Each structure stands twice: as C-alpha cells, then as structure tokens.
Structure 1
Amino acid sequence: MRKKLVYRLALIAILAALSCVLRIAFVDFPNVKPITAMFFAFALWIGLWDSIAIMGLTMLLTGILLGFSPIVFGQIFVYAIIIAFFKAIGKLTKNVFVLSISAGFLAFVFGALIDVLSGLMYGFGTGGYIAYWIAGLPFDTAHAISTLIFYPIVIMILGRIKALQ
C-alpha cells in the first residue's frame, strides 16, 4: 500500500516536471504546446485525479516562472473541466482519431472559456468579450491544432512506456 502511494506521488511529480519543462521549452510558440495533449493522455493512462494533480502543479509552477496572475487559477479550473470531459469521451471510445479530434476541439473550448474568464476579470462587457474572443481566435486555433497533432504522439510514447512496465 505504502509502496503504491510512493510510486503514484513520484509519477505525478515526474510527469509534472516533464510538463513544466515542455511548457517552458515551447514558450516562444504561443499556444503551441504539448501539455494539453499530455493532460488528456494522462487522464486516460493514469486517471482523472492524477492528471488534474499534474496539470495543477504544472500551471502553478510555470505560472511562477513565466508570470503569475489570477488567470492561472482560471486556467486550472477550466483545464480540470475539459480534462474531465475528455476522460468521459475516453470511456466511450478508444479510437485515436476520435480522441485526437476531441482533444483539438476541447483545446479550442479551453481558449474560449479562458477568454470568458479574462473578460469577466478585466471587466469587458458582452461586446468587449466578443472582440476579445475574436482577437484570440488565431491563438485558440493554434492551441487546438497543436493539441490535435500532439495527442497521437503522446499516446504512442505512453503506449511504449506502458509496454516496458
């Protein structure tokens, strides 16, 4: 029992560290990062709560390194929601193509929800939010496309790791 807990905590710490390194490594490419695909894959590979723990640690730690603002808490909240949705989709299908499309779509939803939170936080009215959302569409689209592309790669890597266990 104790050995399993230590293994689980170590796995969460290692995967959070990897996610932080990859988020920082891709910092020059706005919204093109493998971490969203990784969080989704982790939800199916090791479980929803562990994936949310990895995501929370990643967002807090990289927020400290890259610039912390209240929106980091919004990102954690929205990520938790879309990871839970992805886990539910993963229970319905194991088809990598369907899961990749779902990952891309949910990454796009993430951007829209973050725009809503940002609009509320910074006091934009309805018209302001729409303008804010439209201005962010290229970034949300880059995030969605990169997540769609990274997801099958992450799944392939995790499949090889699982085969070694």
Structure 2
Amino acid sequence: MNTYKLTLLALLAALAVVGRSVFAFLPSVQPVTSIIIICGLFLGPMAAILLAFLTTFLSNMLLGMGVWTIWQVVSWAIIGLLSGLIGKIPIKLPIWTIVIYAIFSGYLYGFIVSVTTYQITGHFWPYYIAGLPFDTNHAIGNAVFIILLFPIISYYFKKYADNRFVIQNTN
C-alpha cells in the first residue's frame, strides 16, 4: 500500500469517525457503512477492511467500547470485503445498484450484530425483530449517504475510478 492510498484511507477514516459522532443522536444513522462501501469499491477489499477496523475502534473510543465493538468490526469488514469484490468486477456500475447494495448492507450489518446476542443470551429472533426498525433506519441512511457522498468522493478518487462507475443516468 503506497503513501497516497494510506492518505486516502486516513481521510476516509477521519470522515467516518466524525460522521458517526455527528449523527450519534439519530439511532442507527451514520455514514460509516456508506464510506466503507465507497472505500471498498475504489481502493479494494483490504483497504475497506482496514477502514472498518480503524473507524470502529476510533469512533468507539468516543462513543463507548464494549463486546459489540468486535462484531461491529466483523460486520463492517464483511461489508467492505464484499464491496471490494464488487469493485473488482470490470463493468460499469450505475449508482442505483450501489444504492441497493447499501440498503442491503444496512440489514446485513444488523443481522450480523444480532447473531452475536445469540452467543450471549441464547435468544436470536426476539432481539433481531426488535432491531428491525433500527436496521431500516441504517439502510435508509446508507442510501442517502451513498447518494450524497458517492459523487463527491468519486470525483476525488479519479485515479482509482477507471471509469468503472456511472454517476448520472445517460438515457
């Protein structure tokens, strides 16, 4: 990983940590998942996994550490890994497909974090069903943040974009 890529990763981590802190008053709405998706698409799966680790630990230093921190890292790392693999597909992706993936990622994140409660309490379904409104908030927030952040970040990531993404509908 070169210095330029590390600098981009540090900037994305700072943006994600600040974004998570600023939106802490809204339950399950934060730009972290969207930023990790964008990082995976442009910088690859390993960069997205590293961003997931950095963002989770740095933001949880402000918001509170706990056993959930490990599962947040795992959830965001899986989302970053999948994003990185999608980014390696050599076709042009329209932004609406990325928005749909971001919505799916909100529910995937909630599912993985909910699975961990089974480990502790032995009850999965009550916790998961009770968390669905929060997962929906997360999914909608992801869609909004992708729509807002993807064009801006892709403009600055021209070096890594390689004309792989379609931002505007050309019909």
TM-score bracket, normalised by the shorter chain, equals 0.7 to 0.9
TM-score (norm 1): 0.87
The reply on whether 1:39 has 2:36 as its aligned counterpart is yes
Percent identity over the alignment? 32
CA contact (8 A) 2:5 2:43 kept: no
The reply on whether 1:153 has 2:148 as its aligned counterpart is yes
Q: CA deviation at 1:87?
A: 2.9
| CA distance, structure 1, for counterparts of residue 158 and residue 44 of structure 2 | 18
Q: Which amino acid aligns with 1:66?
A: L
Q: Which amino acid aligns with 1:117?
A: T
Aligned Cα root-mean-square deviation (Å): 2.0
Structure 2, unmatched stretches of 5+, are: 161-171
| CA distance, structure 1, for counterparts of residue 105 and residue 159 of structure 2 | 30
Q: Which amino acid aligns with 1:100?
A: V
The reply on whether 1:83 has 2:84 as its aligned counterpart is no
1:70 corresponds to which residue? 67
TM-score (norm 2): 0.84
Q: Which amino acid aligns with 1:146?
A: G
| CA distance, structure 1, for counterparts of residue 159 and residue 111 of structure 2 | 39
Q: Which has the higher helix share?
A: 1
CA contact (8 A) 2:36 2:48 kept: yes
Structure 1, unmatched stretches of 5+, are: none
2:20 corresponds to which residue? 23
- TM alignment of 1:1-165, pairs within 5 A: 5-90=2-87, 91=89, 94-120=93-119, 122=120, 124-125=121-122, 128-163=123-158
**Relative to 1, partners in 2 of residues 1:163 and 1:81: Cα closer, same or farther, differing over 3 Å?**
closer
